[in-house]
Amino acid sequence: MAMTTPHDGTHEALLSRWNTLLVRARDGAPDPDPAPYGEDLLDRWAEPHRHYHSTGHLLTLLNRVDELVSHTEDPNGLEGLEDGLNRPETEQAPGHGHGRGHGQGHGHGQGHRHGQGRGRKGEQEREREGQGQEQGLTLDLDAVLLAAWFHDAVYRPDRSENEERSAHLAERALPEAGVGEARTAEVARLVRLTVTHDPEPGDLNGAILCDADLSVLAGTPEEYAHYAAEIRREYAFVPDEAFREGRATVLGQLLSHPHLYRTRYARDHWEHIARRNLRTELELLTTAGPAT
């Protein structure tokens, strides 16, 4: 049974959006009642150990997805999607920028996301693959939004399998809630993609979800400082020195990539701000003295 959490304006706004989304995602079927599924997810997002990975993050993520889609000139085409072929063949995926696993560099996802990223395919192979995907590319906005709801539904800072467990939750809950097999599979795929934030060329669903999830890196200096502080609170069990070293490793890896984002809008509007924030935090981490 879902636990009871205080209801505020954010909770009610999110529940309303969930109810509308789930009914639409199952082609207008009214049953089963979408509300219990939304309440269960919101209870998960409101767990007391969450500071960044909370309902506030969920609401922001949903809004960023809408923002990216609204600035994609043709939501069923590649006009707003960069080809992703500009990273060296040997590079790893850019990762999240807020990883779990302090020893491997924490940012707000798993620090080990960097080490687990796919080896880069040869440029010609990636180009051929991307060209093939262009032919039938479509945006499944409902799948992207459902993936946003589920991507951190299971979250423990001291665990490394959160995305996989969140994907399993989606695979169990969505069919029961009336969502079709194909869309459920796409939602689970997208949830698992947030381990690496490394969508293939032509993966419009993946690019939008991953860019939206990384949009926190492009906040104002005040917003970014608040985000970094919330992450530190979630990892309060990690000693200061170990946290600084791990976090600095992740930030350095992120800054080494030619691009943080895949969509043209995010690169044009968020990239330079995100890099400034990352450089500032990295400087603060590397100049901080040992804890006393």
d(CA 84, CA 71): 18
Prior bond of 201 cis (ω within 30°): no
Bridge partners of 99, per DSSP, are 109
| 241-292 pLDDT, tens digit each | 999 999 999 999 999 999 999 999 999 999 999 999 999 999 999 987 654 4
More confident residue, 97 or 195: 195
Q: 31 pLDDT band (50/70/90 cuts)?
A: very high
**Do 110 and 195 meet the contact criterion of CB atoms below 8 Å apart?**
yes
Task: Give mean pLDDT, residues 93-122.
Answer: 37
How confident is the model at residue 222, as a pLDDT?
Answer: 97
Would you say 155 and 55 are in contact if contact means Cβ atoms under 8 Å apart?
no
Average pLDDT over residues 16-25: 98
Residue 102 has pLDDT above 80, yes or no: no
pLDDT digit string (tens) for 128-158?
Answer: 333 333 333 689 999 999 999 999 999 999 9
Average pLDDT, integer, range 65-78: 76
Distances (CA, A) of 252 to 88, 109, 230, 278: 16, 15, 20, 8
Amino acid at 136: G
Does the structure show a pLDDT above 80 at 91? no
Residue 92 above 80 pLDDT? Answer: no
The single residue listed with the structure tokens 């990539």 is: 257
